[in-house]
Amino acid sequence: MKLSTASDADSSVLNTCPSFRRAFFVARPPEIAYLYPKKALDRSGQSKKPAHLHPGIGKKYASFKKEWLPPDEWASRILRGDKTALSRAITLVESTVPAHARLAEELIRRLLPHSGKSFRIGITGVPGAGKSTFIDRLGDAYIRRGHKVAVLAVDPSSAKYKGSILGDKTRMTRLMQADNAFIRPSPSGNVPGGVARKTREAVLLCEAAGYDRILVETVGVGQSEVYAHSMTDMFVLLKLPGAGDELQGIKRGIMELADLILINKADGEMAESARRAVQTFRTALSYFYPPDRIPPVEAVSSFSDRDIHKALELMEDFYTRARRTGTLDRRRREQQTFWMDETLRDLFENRLRNRPELAEYRTSLEQAVKRLEITPFEAAEKLWERFITLLRNDSDS
Ligand SMILES: Nc1nc2c(ncn2[C@@H]2O[C@H](COP(=O)(O)OP(=O)(O)OP(=O)(O)O)[C@@H](O)[C@H]2O)c(=O)[nH]1
Ligand SMILES: [Mg+2]
């Protein structure tokens, strides 16, 4: 079974990625060890609140704590498909409190062997392209075929405007009511990679809860597309007809990510321009790709059941072929190293930021860079050297 191999690939990250491994040094610690990081316990085993935690965290934790369950029970509830347990587990994954991260990792470790058995579909497009509406109809069609559908988001805008949460709740009217659907808006956060990593972990949790079609919505802006692409088996690009953007974006890079291009809103007055856009795309893509690598381009309307089924069939064909040829497995394995690199970058950045001794030096370097007195590369190197010296001093003392 190829899919179980893919989940093996997921678990391989545990052997390589320090942030995943960290949690398991603390074997069933007393509750206080979940509450604060290990360093927060002084020699007598008493807790002391670490200086780097925000004062509001105690309050946040107090309300969170009530929802916590022992990891075993939590995991088995998720495996039984308990939506509340799943939802709270995602909240835990999204938390920025280090102790929550450890518990989240412990939970993920237990559930990893049960993940990996879904078809993960990324759906991207500019704001207003109709992603949520399309996902609602597609998800509904999947449910009618006996699937369980989870909808997640990698959305840089929601952290700022909280807009898409509201948008999704009003757009996804069918899925909102379906027992076999689970909708989770985008996590908030300032570091796009960090936010995306949380979505990726939410994918694993949803799979453990039995969702076998995972739809990841992302706004087609910059890096978020790359992140969504790096956690999905198929990447679908929704385009608008007649918006003068048919050719815009036909650049390697953006198009290279797409496995399927759908010209959406091909209904009413836009039906004709959608058909024209399909032709334009097909022709343009043929200049860039060898015939066997051109992604399919189709016009669809999310309001047409026939079109939704057409899109669904294209996706299922892709999935069947990807499993048969081994590309699904290969793609997931490549994604593992992408996430390992991302996590390493996050780790380094966090470690640097968490050294108060470096804060002032960093600010002075930033100012020097702005005044053009020093290049960004020199500044980064200087900061890095100071950091390494601190680490050396740590290990000497
Ligand atoms: N005519 C037509 N309108 C559509 C179609 N799909 C979506 N719409 C409309 O387009 C608007 C935007 O739809 P959404 O589904 O919210 O688009 P989105 O891409 O999720 O938007 P963001 O989440 O804000 O990026 C809504 O008013 C929808 O009713 C379609 O196939 N045909
Ligand atoms: Mg949307």
- Tens digit of each residue's pLDDT (9 = 90 or more) over 274-283: 999 898 888 8
Q: pLDDT of 358-387, one tens digit each?
A: 999 999 999 999 999 999 999 999 999 999
Instruction: State mean pLDDT over 175-203.
Output: 80
Beta strands in 251-337 (DSSP E): 260-263, 297-299
Distance separating alpha carbons of residues 213 and 147, to the nearest angstrom? 7
Confidence check: pLDDT of 389 > 50:
yes
Query: Going by CATH, does the domain composed of 115-335 fall within 3.40.50.300?
Result: yes
Distance separating alpha carbons of residues 169 and 167, to the nearest angstrom? 6
User: What's the pTM value of the predicted model, to 2 decimals?
Assistant: 0.77
Q: pLDDT of 40-95, one tens digit each?
A: 333 333 344 443 444 444 444 444 555 578 888 999 999 999 999 999 999 998 88
Distance separating alpha carbons of residues 49 and 188, to the nearest angstrom? 25
Protein residue closest via CA to atom 2 of ligand 1? 265
Cβ neighbours of residue 228 closer than 8 Å, sequence gap 6 or more: 122, 124, 154, 196, 199, 216, 218, 235
Give the Å distance between the CA of 364 and the centre of ligand 2.
41
Give the Å distance between the CA of 133 and the centre of ligand 2.
7
Domain definitions of the chain by residue range: 2-113, 115-335, 336-396
Instruction: State mean pLDDT over 333-353.
Output: 87
Give the Å distance between the CA of 70 and the centre of ligand 2.
35
| Block residue for tokens 């949790």 | 205
Give the Å distance between the CA of 31 and the centre of ligand 2.
39
Element (H, E) at 235: strand 234-239
Closest CA to 217 of 121, 309, 319: 121
Protein residue closest via CA to atom 24 of ligand 1? 127
Instruction: State mean pLDDT over 9-20.
Output: 37
52 exposure class (CB count in 10 Å sphere: 0-12, 13-18, 19+): middle
Cβ neighbours of residue 315 closer than 8 Å, sequence gap 6 or more: 119, 121, 234, 236, 260
Interior/surface letters 226-253, b for 16+ CB within 10 angstroms, e for the rest: bbbbbbbbbbbbbbbbeeeebeebbeee
Protein residue closest via CA to atom 22 of ligand 1? 127
C-beta separation of 186 from 175 below 8 A:
no
C-beta separation of 139 from 148 below 8 A:
no
Distance separating alpha carbons of residues 241 and 389, to the nearest angstrom? 57
- Residue 210: phi and psi, rounded to 5, are 95, 5
Q: Which two tokens stand for residue 328?
A: 């699904």
Q: Which residue has the higher pLDDT, 255 or 289?
A: 289
What is the CATH code of the structural domain delimited by 336-396? 1.10.287
Instruction: State mean pLDDT over 161-181.
Output: 72
The per-residue pLDDT for 262 is: 95
Cβ neighbours of residue 370 closer than 8 Å, sequence gap 6 or more: none
Residue type, position 294, single letter: I
Cβ neighbours of residue 324 closer than 8 Å, sequence gap 6 or more: none
